[in-house]
Amino acid sequence: MATAVAPNQDFVTRIPLPPQRLDALSRDILALKKKLNAIILAHNYQVPEIQDVADFVGDSLGLSQQAAKTSADVIVFCGVHFMAETAKILNPNKVVILPDKDAGCSLEESCPAPKLKQLQDTNPNFYTVTYINCSAEVKALSDVICTSGNAVKIVNASPKDKDLLFVPDENLGAWVMEQTGRKMTLWKGSCYAHVEFTHESIMRIRREYPDAPVVAHPECTRAVRLLADEICSTEKMVEFCKKSPAQTIIIATESGMIHRLNKECPGKRFIPAPVANCRCNECKFMKMNTLEKLHACMEDLNPRIELPKSILDRARLPIERMLQISSQPLANAG
Ligand code: 13P
Ligand code: SF4
């Protein structure tokens, strides 16, 4: 249903947009897109009406790949701030705008660049593998970036003679260690939304739907991952659900994902995994973007991402390294 968001609340209250307003805004956005020669990129967690006007909807990896190859003059990034920054780093000469500049991320907050530098200085042999959910300043201190969709491949391709430092998500890092057998020093950050899923909340929904497989994001805690049939990025969730013979599937990630799955897998039933006191789970940052704010940012070409040249130059290298490793066939990736 069409929505507008009251921002900066822990639990977001959405007020439905009247259908005529929804249609008018969507039409205007498409006209502005043409006029500006813009591309609209949206993360899988965005509200349905934003996903429905986007040129591309996907996970962090897919969105970076789209940003790297677009010939549009303006990139309209519907996601959180670090995602729009990544698009700017890859396109320093393009205009990159986002609906709400305050759409942050708890993982980004957990890892300030000066603190990371302090830790890096304790071991000259560290090779820093950084989850894309971080600031441009932290990217500029990194050797290589990864997303949940390619973290295993990136770690497998990392130099064997280095001590790996994985920042900032300790849950994703712990899962990657299990998958690769590679020991890493983990930064103690987490996604405030994904750690809300608990062993008990997943057991509860499993009892309700005993035949439904559970698909979980690797940002979930180990207690939840142990109960999952599949652990993967949001884009790989779409692939898994398309291929799975199951008609009902439990999804342990941000509930925006359900709209994308319903569109891509018609006829199947997707159950958002519950958290302790709620039927589903939302990221308050992702939900700060609304169709109205999207329209306004395209009219004003603001808020706009601007970064110092030194950060742009230094942060581009580890992102390009990630994109290059990601594009290699598995056997050559190390
Ligand atoms: P994906 O890259 O899997 O879409 O995850 C992004 C994210 O922010 C998860 O919370
Ligand atoms: Fe960050 Fe978690 Fe929101 Fe993803 S879901 S943007 S990791 S706070």
Residue 11: band (very low, low, confident or very high) from pLDDT cuts 50, 70, 90: very low
Rounded Cα distance, 158 and 324, in Å: 13
What are the pLDDT digits (tens) for 66-80? 999 999 999 999 999
Q: 45, 60, 106: which to mutate for ligand 2, most atoms within 8 A of CB?
A: 106
- pLDDT reported for residue 146: 98
Q: Is the dihedral of CA 128, 133, 138, 141 positive or negative?
A: positive
- pLDDT reported for residue 195: 97
Minimal-distance CA residue to ligand 2 atom 2: 191
Distances (CA, A) of 278 to 11, 193, 234: 10, 12, 21
CATH number for the domain formed by residue range(s) 107-192+309-332: 3.40.50.10800
Distances (CA, A) of 23 to 18, 43, 154, 294, 297: 9, 21, 42, 14, 18
Q: Is the beta carbon of 132 within 6 A of some atom in ligand 2?
A: no
The structural domains of the chain, with segments of one domain joined by +, span: 3-104+285-300, 107-192+309-332, 195-272
The correct CATH number of 3-104+285-300 out of 3.40.190.10, 1.25.40.80, 3.20.20.70, 3.40.50.10800 is: 3.40.50.10800
What are the pLDDT digits (tens) for 174-225? 999 999 999 999 999 999 999 999 999 999 999 999 999 999 999 999 999 9
Residue 331: band (very low, low, confident or very high) from pLDDT cuts 50, 70, 90: low
Q: 108, 148, 284, 326: which to mutate for ligand 1, most atoms within 8 A of CB?
A: 148
Rounded Cα distance, 30 and 34, in Å: 6
Q: Which residue has the tokens 């940003």?
A: 67
Task: Specify the amino acid at residue 18.
Answer: P
Distances (CA, A) of 61 to 81, 125, 206, 228: 15, 27, 30, 22
- pLDDT reported for residue 10: 39
CATH number for the domain formed by residue range(s) 195-272: 3.40.50.10800
Minimal-distance CA residue to ligand 1 atom 4: 59
Q: What is the mean pLDDT of residues 150-159?
A: 98
Q: Is the beta carbon of 285 within 6 A of some atom in ligand 2?
A: yes
Ligand 2, closest atom to CA 193? 2
Q: Which residue has the tokens 């001590």?
A: 163
Percent of the chain with pLDDT over 70: 95
Q: 44, 175, 251, 326: which to mutate for ligand 1, most atoms within 8 A of CB?
A: 44
Q: What is the mean pLDDT of residues 271-299?
A: 95
Minimal-distance CA residue to ligand 2 atom 5: 283
What are the pLDDT digits (tens) for 39-55? 999 999 999 999 999 99
Minimal-distance CA residue to ligand 2 atom 3: 283
Q: Is the beta carbon of 85 within 6 A of some atom in ligand 1?
A: no
Angle subtended at Cα 198 by Cα 190 and Cα 272, rounded to the nearest 5 degrees: 95
Whether residue 6 is predicted with pLDDT greater than 50 in this model: the reply is no
Residue 1: band (very low, low, confident or very high) from pLDDT cuts 50, 70, 90: very low
Q: What is the mean pLDDT of residues 130-143?
A: 98
What are the pLDDT digits (tens) for 237-262? 999 999 999 999 999 999 999 999 99
Angle subtended at Cα 288 by Cα 286 and Cα 289, rounded to the nearest 5 degrees: 85
For residue 252, the CA-to-ligand 1 centroid distance in Å is: 12
Q: Is the beta carbon of 147 within 6 A of some atom in ligand 1?
A: yes
Rounded Cα distance, 54 and 75, in Å: 11
Q: 41, 51, 57, 59: which to mutate for ligand 1, most atoms within 8 A of CB?
A: 59
Rounded Cα distance, 243 and 261, in Å: 12
For residue 44, the CA-to-ligand 1 centroid distance in Å is: 8
> Which residue from 87, 46, 42, 55 is spatially nearest to 68, judged by alpha carbons?
87
Q: Beta strands 14-15 and 38-43: pairing type?
A: unpaired
Ligand 2, closest atom to CA 169? 7
Minimal-distance CA residue to ligand 1 atom 1: 59
45 or 14: which leads in pLDDT: 45
- pLDDT reported for residue 13: 57
For residue 331, the CA-to-ligand 2 centroid distance in Å is: 31
Structure tokens at 39: 């591309």
Rounded Cα distance, 242 and 236, in Å: 10
pTM of this prediction?
A: 0.94
Whether residue 333 is predicted with pLDDT greater than 60 in this model: the reply is no
- pLDDT reported for residue 14: 74
- Which DSSP letter does residue 264 get? H
Kindly report whether the peptide bond that precedes residue 303 is cis, defined as omega within 30 degrees of 0: yes
Task: Specify the amino acid at residue 44.
Answer: N
The neighbour count for residue 4, using CB atoms within 10 Å, is 17
- pLDDT reported for residue 7: 36
Angle subtended at Cα 58 by Cα 195 and Cα 294, rounded to the nearest 5 degrees: 95
Q: Is the beta carbon of 107 within 6 A of some atom in ligand 2?
A: yes
- pLDDT reported for residue 280: 85
3-104+285-300 against 195-272: fold identical: yes
The neighbour count for residue 167, using CB atoms within 10 Å, is 28
What are the pLDDT digits (tens) for 22-39? 999 999 999 999 999 999
